A and B are shown apart, each in its own frame.
Chain A
Amino acid sequence: MPARAVTITSGKGGVGKTTVTANLGTALAAQGQRVVIIDADIGLRNLDVMMGLENRIVYDLVDVVEGRCRLRQALVRDKRLPELYLLPAAQTRDKTAVNPEQMVQVCDELREGADFLLIDSPAGIEQGFRVAVAPADEVLIVTNPEVAAVRDADRVIGLLEAEEKGPLHLILNRVKPEMVRRGDMLETNAVLELLAIQLIGVVPEDEAVLAAANTGRPVALSDNSMAGRAFHNIAHRLRGEEVPFLPLREPGLLGRLRRLVRPEGE
């Protein structure tokens, strides 16, 4: 079966698109899937850094499109997972270097040898975004539980709906349970009510994610962090498995008492 192309986008910058792409790619590959992650953020590439693959890049997406190399030559194999490849973006060019048709063509060529193509979209709703969503069979919209990020996500969803791109799924990233409990952060349900699309994952704020990004070792490589587990769950859901959502809230006193009474929960 040819690969499914999944684009990760958000509208607003800094909500964690690249982190999500790196970790989902890692989680899927760790689950035995053949994955190519594609950095469509031309001119501002980061995915290679997060994967710790920066020093292995020889050719990039723009080289492929402009015919300076074959597609195979531009793919960088992951250090740890043999079925995970990165197609890096060019750092010295800009968003106009690739057009949507070229992106579709590159992805079509990659589909045969993979199970998943994950495309990391640049922020914004301009050409770079158009290029990143052009080949998508499915789009993951990343947002944070804050009003501005949700507003931008809504804008992006509107654009995707207008183009009849789908299915669309939401990833709520960087949720701080403590702040939600205090009422200082939007609740998952409030975000879902605002955006009215299907949720595929909630990723808690986790210092391990930041540390991992700096060392080029995505948290999804191990599942001993909350965030790492959340990414693995999203990967399972992408593969069509039903996985219950992690209890985000650390149980309060009442919850702990209830758990004492009924160990299995509800």
Chain B
Amino acid sequence: MTQPAEVRIKGIRQGLLIGLGAGEWTERLALLEKRLAQSAGFFQGGRAVLDVGDRLLTATEIEQARDLLALHEVALWGVLSSRDETTLAAARMGLVVHLDMVEPSEQKREVTEPETDFPPLVVERTLRSGQKVHHPGHVVVIGDVHAGAEVVAGGHIIVWGKVRGVVHAGAMGDSGATVCALDLSPTQLRIAGYIARSPEEKRRRPVPETARVRNGRIEAIPWRDK
């Protein structure tokens, strides 16, 4: 499912790790821009480390990336590269060029599980209209998600209650993420880039359901049928 030259954004303990993948620099930046625009402020306020592989980059090119990220309110914090010249340029700009915990090769590993380097977030209350929870890891809500409320998670979303608002699981692009709820009738349900709405007619007796992506679309599977 991984396309060869995808821009990957991954949550790591220190912030975000952005793997730019192989390809021409400006084209990579355009792809990154697209990813950031799609995530609609999800990464806002975060800091990022760019993994640029063995690219030769000048300070100006790194600045381009920094400005692009800044536009989406993400701070460029480090650049990882196997190329000495790039590393040096980044180091001169005061950026971190080495992460003890993270090897530049890590991005090449196939990730099938949702990216869970962030601890899950447990929300022990009902989310009312206008309230938002954004979290790069899994999100568990003990309570309801009312219409007008929004939960966006990098991983799974589990709601011990009713879902009427907007939920977005796998918001960083993981289409293996799921949404589980006792009563699942969201205004809109998204998993990675897929979008679904609840059927118009009301169900008489709601059953717990799990929504996941199957055959290119979101399906809700009643818990009993499993």
Which residues does A use to contact B, with CB under 8 Å? Answer: 151-152, 154-155, 157-159, 161-162, 194, 196
Contact = CB atoms under 8 A, between A and B. Distances in A.
A152 B130 CA distance: 9
Contacts of B127: 158
A196 B126 contact: yes
A155 B126 contact: no
B146 A194 contact: yes
A20 to B, nearest CB: 21
B141 to A, nearest CB: 14
Interface string B100-139: 0000000000000000000000000111111100000000
Contacts of B144: 196
B53 interface: no
Contact of A151 (B126, B129, B131): B129
Contacts of B128: 154-155, 157-158, 161
Which of B128, B130, B144 is packed against the most chain A CB atoms within 10 Å? B128
B203 to A, nearest CB: 15
A157 B148 CA distance: 13
Interface of B: 125-131, 144, 146-149
A158 B146 CA distance: 10
5 contacts: A154-B148, A155-B148, A157-B128, A158-B129, A158-B130
A151 B127 CA distance: 12
A194 B148 CA distance: 12
Nearest to B144: A196
A161 B123 CA distance: 14
Nearest 9 pairs of A and B residues by beta carbon = A158-B128, A154-B129, A155-B129, A155-B130, A154-B128, A158-B131, A151-B129, A154-B146, A151-B148
Main secondary structure of the interface of A (DSSP, over half): helix
Which of A151, A152, A158, A161 is packed against the most chain B CB atoms within 10 Å? A158
A158 B126 CA distance: 9
Contacts of A154: 128-130, 146-148
A196 B149 CA distance: 15
A143 to B, nearest CB: 12
A159 B148 CA distance: 13
A38 to B, nearest CB: 26
A162 B127 CA distance: 10
Which of A151, A154, A155 is packed against the most chain B CB atoms within 10 Å? A154
Which of B131, B146, B149 is packed against the most chain A CB atoms within 10 Å? B146
A151 B129 CA distance: 7
B149 to A, nearest CB: 8
A153 to B, nearest CB: 9
A152 B147 CA distance: 10
Given A154-B130, A162-B131, A194-B146, 9 more contacts: A151-B129, A152-B129, A154-B148, A157-B128, A158-B129, A158-B131, A158-B149, A159-B130, A161-B125
Nearest to A11: B129
Nearest to B125: A161
Contacts of B131: 158, 162
A162 to B, nearest CB: 8
B64 to A, nearest CB: 39
B131 to A, nearest CB: 5
Contacts of B147: 151, 154
Contacts of B129: 151-152, 154-155, 158
Nearest to A154: B129
B146 to A, nearest CB: 5
A42 to B, nearest CB: 24
Nearest to A125: B130
A184 to B, nearest CB: 16
A159 B126 CA distance: 12
Contacts of A162: 131
B33 to A, nearest CB: 33
A158 B128 CA distance: 5
A152 B7 CA distance: 39
